A and B are shown apart, each in its own frame.
Chain A
Amino acid sequence: MSRSAFAKTREAIRILGFATAFALSAMIINALVMAVFLIVFGYPDGGEATFAGPGIEELSDQLVFRDGSYQLGDEAAETLERGHRWAMLIDAEGNVSWGLALPADIPSHYDMADVASFTRWYLEDYPVSTWVRDDGILVAGAPKGSVWKYTYNTNMNSILMTIGLVLALLVSNMVVAIAAARAYARKSWAERDHARREWIAAVSHDVRTPLAVALADADTLARDETLGTEQRLRAERVEGKVSEVASLVADLNVANQLSYAMEPVDATPVTLAPIIRSVAAEALNDDADGSHPIEVAVDDEAEQCQVKGDAALLRRMLANLVGNSVRHNTQGCTVRMALSKLPPRLFRRGRCLLVVEDDGRGLEADMLEALRRAPSDDLPEHGLGLVIVRRIAMACGGTVRFVEPAGGGTRCEITFALA
């Protein structure tokens, strides 16, 4: 997977994670609010939610015909009284056969039309509920204005449509939540990345100015012929070490740029061959004692190979590889750089293979292991130079393999897709 696809997938996972966490926490908070509400205000009692005290069914149970008259249980009677409610039983003829605390404006006879009307609505503006018994209809009324009654009729199709609508709203809300979370997350990540990038750039800037002074002074001392050989050698060593630190700072900067940028900033077609030759020539020109010869082999057909990337970064990548071979083999070694075109594949872009290898003492086992692991954004504790190699190659659409050649030494194979 290319670096950019890898980074995008990772970002998508982060955003999805963020949106899920957001939705879950919203749900948990809703559940908490509901729980608090229920604890404080209590749960309304099912179908009888409109009336305080005994429900109409319970009332009916407590109303019994005994010894020639109707008697209501004391408990139910008390509760009705407390709630300023009244009750009556209408017999099959439409006459009130029993009543409790009936208001004066309640009629004593009802016909079918009356019953049909108050069953659902109000009786003389009193909100009522009804219960059909064997001996008639039990009616319980509450004070005027205490209950709002509303009847809703709809056909089955609209019920199904409503369910669909609710689902659609839910889904669209989720989409909006994900989009909002994504936009927010991208912004905050971008800000954080920018801040971190700026910080590292600022630190490296501040480190470089004193390094410039140290390097200049060390170089001046190393060339001062009035000094003894011993002192000049020491100055030379200081110069070498300062250069190493400078190169580290530069690597850190490149790593910093590559960690956060999805694509190299200036991705243009870059011809590899001149860069290979130039890096080799520079290294050879610096190799005063000739202990690190470099062989360059660019196939004729690879001469024009171009990859999409940034010339300065690719140069840095090659310089790091060559520099690594030279630094880790102070006793001397031969470095070989080769560029060749790979055979074409059906329906795929052409590729080229860049190899940088040496016949030195090879990489440490743990370093090799670290280089083979899946790339991560964490900077390694050591060997930044080679990790940068991999980052740059990936940013330029290449894949890197570090292998241990049978005869010893180090071999790095980079396969690039041609631009």
Chain B
Amino acid sequence: MRDIHEARILVVEDDPTLREVVYGLVEREGYRQVRGVGTAADASSCFATWRPDLLLLDVMLPDGNGFDLLRSIRQTSQVPAIILSARDEDEARLRGLGLGADDYVTKPFLPRELLLRISAVLRRTYGAGDAPQAIRLGQTIVDMGSGEVTRADGRRETLTSKEYALFERLARSRGLIVTTDELARAAWGDDYGYGNALMVHMRRLREKVEENPSKPRWILTMRGLGYRLAKEEA
């Protein structure tokens, strides 16, 4: 898959209005191959014949539940699935079942949120996508393919793996605050006890991407919380 928008998405939702809404949302977002079904039986047969790349799965279906459906699909396929649920308790149940759903969205959801999660799951699963290959910070360009930073004067530097992980996490939520815990998780896979190490790595990262690391313009400190990668001014 060269583009995540080529992904075949199957919407399994029994409420026809909501199915239509989700269907419309996904289609408007540029996903060209979307189908919607209202029952577990239709979902099974559609899955067998059409082989979708992503499932959006409602939990309560008139002829069964989404968990059982996912379990039976999991016997033959590892297709990514996002569960759409209307019950808070479902999340705990889902965890307990260990079905390996890729994400979980509680109704009602904001359309943007759902679309973000769809593209994140697709990108994570199929590795392709529209992740920007280069991130521009004013005159500085960070190539996300090679981890190379090119400064305005043509000077080049390479990010270390930790710096890359931190920068990639910030870039993924550009414009939003990313907490120190999330950054530590991105770099070390664990979310506490790395306060000082994180500061050291962020300082080095700034030295590589900022023009004036002591007065950062792009990687901003949110005191007591974390960091934010500023958006480029329009």
Contact = CB atoms under 8 A, between A and B. Distances in A.
Given A211-B107, A216-B25, A280 B225 contact: yes
A396 interface: no
A213 B87 contact: no
A205 B179 contact: no
Interface string A246-290: 100010011001000000011000010110011011001100000
Given A254-B88, A265-B92, A296-B224, A278 B111 contact: no
A361 B45 CA distance: 58
Contact of A303 (B87, B111, B178, B192): B192
B225 A284 contact: yes
A359 interface: no
For the complex, would chain B's binding face be called helix, strand, loop or mixed by DSSP majority? Answer: mixed
A416 to B, nearest CB: 17
A209 interface: yes
Interface residues of B, number: 38
A242 B180 CA distance: 32
A220 B18 contact: no
A214 interface: yes
A209 B86 contact: yes
Nearest to A297: B224
Contacts of A254: 88
Nearest to B87: A205
A304 interface: yes
B22 interface: yes
B108 A217 contact: no
Interface in B60-95: 60, 84, 86-89, 91-92
B181 A277 contact: yes
Interface in B172-192: 176-182, 191-192
B107 A281 contact: no
A296 B180 CA distance: 12
A213 B15 contact: yes
A43 B223 CA distance: 92
B226 interface: yes
B192 A277 contact: no
Nearest to A253: B88
Contacts of A304: 192-193
A212 B109 contact: yes
B195 interface: yes
Nearest to B84: A212
Nearest to B90: A205
Contacts of B197: none
A4 B87 CA distance: 25
B108 A278 contact: no
A281 B222 contact: yes
A298 interface: yes
A148 to B, nearest CB: 70
Contacts of A211: 107-108
Contacts of B87: 201, 204-205, 253
A182 interface: no
Interface centre among A209, A215, A284, A294 (most CB of B within 10 A): A209
A296 B226 CA distance: 10
A315 interface: no
A265 B111 CA distance: 31
A295 interface: yes
Contacts of A284: 177, 222, 225
Interface in A209-246: 209-217, 219-220, 242-243, 246
A271 B179 CA distance: 14
A149 to B, nearest CB: 74
Interface string B138-178: 00000000000000000000000000000000000000111
Interface string B86-121: 111101100000000000001111111000000000
B179 A277 contact: yes
A274 B181 contact: yes
Contacts of B225: 277, 280-281, 284, 294, 296
Interface string B23-42: 01100000000000000000
B212 interface: no
Given A209-B86, A274-B191, A219 B179 contact: no
Nearest to A298: B224
Contacts of A298: 224
A296 B225 CA distance: 7
A62 to B, nearest CB: 87
Nearest to A214: B108
B17 interface: yes
Contacts of A253: 87-88
A342 B47 CA distance: 57
B224 A209 contact: no
A174 B92 CA distance: 43
A354 to B, nearest CB: 14
B21 interface: yes
A189 to B, nearest CB: 20
A162 to B, nearest CB: 58
Given A246-B108, A304-B192, A277 B60 contact: no
A315 to B, nearest CB: 12
A219 B110 contact: yes
Contacts of B222: 281, 284
Interface string A286-316: 0000000011111000011000000010000
13 contacts: A201-B87, A208-B106, A210-B15, A210-B17, A211-B107, A212-B86, A216-B25, A219-B111, A220-B24, A254-B88, A274-B179, A277-B180, A304-B192
Q: Which 6 residue pairs across A and B have the least CB separation, nearest first?
A: A296-B224, A212-B108, A274-B181, A208-B86, A281-B177, A211-B108
Interface of A: 201, 204-206, 208-217, 219-220, 242-243, 246, 250, 253-254, 257, 265-266, 271, 273-274, 277-278, 280-281, 284-285, 294-298, 303-304, 312
Interface of B: 15, 17-18, 21-22, 24-25, 60, 84, 86-89, 91-92, 106-112, 176-182, 191-193, 195, 222-226
